[in-house]
Amino acid sequence: MNNNSEAIAKTVKLLRNCKSVLFITGAGLSADSGLPTYRGIGGLYNDKLTEDGISVEKALAGETLCRQPAVTWKYLSQIERNCRNAKFNRGHEVIAEMEKHLDRVWVLTQNIDGFHRAAGSHNIIDIHGDIHKLACRRCGWQGVVKDYSGIEIPPKCSNCTGIVRPEVVFFGEMLPEDKLNVLDSELARGFDIYFSIGTSSVFPYIKQPMVAANHLGRPTVEINLEDTEVSDLVDIKLRMRAADALDAIWKEY
């Protein structure tokens, strides 16, 4: 039995005794759908400047969106176009299926692709937003689009002609207070087991739940091909692709 097989067996044994689960997911989960991990939203730019002579982080900053919305939307639409044909994968499906079978399952995701919801999960804290949800900050209009193929860039609100923005957290912007409140409330209740999947856990609000679980003596599992900020503190480390690992766990459950 290899290390991953042993880790899967241990995870399944723990999971059978659990009624509540927190899944913390990042780009590594959606990578199994063909989406690039960060810099590619990223592989589009690598370490190069954009054609406008600024970094992709600067192009996708809240300040740039306010001052030069056409620039932000230009690169946002490039990213969306490169990801347009992807869909949720088996990993997302397994998490959604667990929500149906266990008493309480929540997902804290950094991903803005909406795949968790599309796969059938309901208890989602998409802390960075969803690229398909649009809003006008001037008049409050809100809408949902399948993709950006039929909208002008930058899009204008049909109600007030203000510039519409996606409901995502751009660089330099604050996290949404309502979602942080839900996260705090659910973390205060605690979970029987905590999973970190496909994320480097560099953001404090992504790392902290795993640290807290470790201090509380709650089981922790990481699924990631690489070492991360939480690798040294988790109980079980699965060096596998996220979708493969979740599918293997669910098949043995």
pLDDT of residue 37: 62
Q: What percentage of the chain carries pLDDT values higher than 90?
A: 79
Q: Give the span between the Cα atoms of 52 and 58, in whole angstroms.
A: 10
Tokens of 241: 């692709």
Closest CA to 144 of 156, 130, 132, 126: 132
**Does the pLDDT value for residue 68 go beyond 90?**
yes
Mean pLDDT over the full length of the chain? 92
Q: Judging by beta carbons within 10 Å of its beta carbon (0-12, 13-18, 19+), is residue 155 exposed, middle or buried?
A: buried
Q: Give the span between the Cα atoms of 249 and 244, in whole angstroms.
A: 9
Report pTM: 0.93
Instruction: Name the active-site residue from 101, 128, 132, 215.
Output: 128
Q: Give the span between the Cα atoms of 248 and 5, in whole angstroms.
A: 9
The mean pLDDT of 97-102, rounded to a whole number, is: 97
Is residue 116 part of the annotated active site? The answer reads no
Q: Enumerate domains of the chain plus CATH numbers.
A: 3-35+87-128+174-252 (3.40.50.1220), 36-85+149-168 (no CATH)
pLDDT of residue 38: 52
- Residues contacting 136, CB < 8 A, separation 6+: 142, 157, 159, 160, 162, 163, 164, 165
Q: Give the span between the Cα atoms of 71 and 68, in whole angstroms.
A: 6
pLDDT (tens digit, 9 = 90+) per residue, 187-207? 999 999 999 999 999 999 999
Q: Which of 26-30, 46-50, 98-102 has the highest mean pLDDT?
A: 98-102
pLDDT (tens digit, 9 = 90+) per residue, 194-242? 999 999 999 999 999 999 999 999 999 999 999 999 999 999 999 999 9
More confident residue, 150 or 104: 104
